[in-house]
Amino acid sequence: MSNNRSERALNLRNEARAGVFAKFLDIMIALYGKPDLHSLERLIKEKHDGAEVEIYFTALDKAISIYLSRTKIIARNGNSYKPVTKVIFNVPKEKLIPILVELVHTKDNLIGLAKFVLRYYLRRKVKVKGSLFIGITVLRLMFLGKHPLFEKR
């Protein structure tokens, strides 16, 4: 670790920022993901149960890990030990929150998915390394727009 206090402070602040993203996703999926959790078992096939997916934020140089199970999702800060897929958010720091918020407000249906692919995936703002299926599955778990409280907005 650098001895320079400014760099060290920045590094730790970025780590905290990524950690809050993990906490936010954890809470949001637990609170508002319920209507979609029945599809969790369908989405996460037996062979992917327990898989780790790393979400890496290029602007922060920090990652969070999502642990997939057929009953719940756990988001933690830090790199994954052995990720099956790496989802990379390749956008500037100030764009991270708007993208995460937009993902959360997206409806988990074909139109929502198509919007995401056109806006972010094809423009290489969000890249997926490894299994595309699992990458998309994780992103779909963040699509909470079908929840009645989000539909009211």
Stretch that binds another protein, among 44-52, 92-100, 107-115, 120-128 (CB under 8 A): 92-100
Stretch that binds another protein, among 12-20, 38-46, 108-116, 128-136 (CB under 8 A): 12-20
> From the list 35, 49, 50, 101, which residue makes contact with another protein (rule: CB under 8 A)?
101
48 versus 147: smaller Cβ distance to another protein:
147
* 130 contacts 84 by C-beta, under 8 angstroms: yes
Q: Minimum distance from CB of 80 to another protein (Å)?
A: 14
CA separation (Å) from 43 to 37, 66, 141?
9, 15, 9
Q: Please report the sign of the dihedral spanned by the C-alpha atoms of residue 12, residue 13, residue 18, residue 19.
A: positive
Stretch that binds another protein, among 9-17, 40-48, 82-90, 119-127 (CB under 8 A): 9-17
Which two tokens mark 12? 């730790």
How far apart are alpha carbons 9 and 68 in whole angstroms? 32
**Contact between 75 and another protein (CB under 8 A)?**
yes
Q: Which of residues 35-64 bind another protein (CB under 8 A)?
A: none
- Which amino acid is present at 33? G
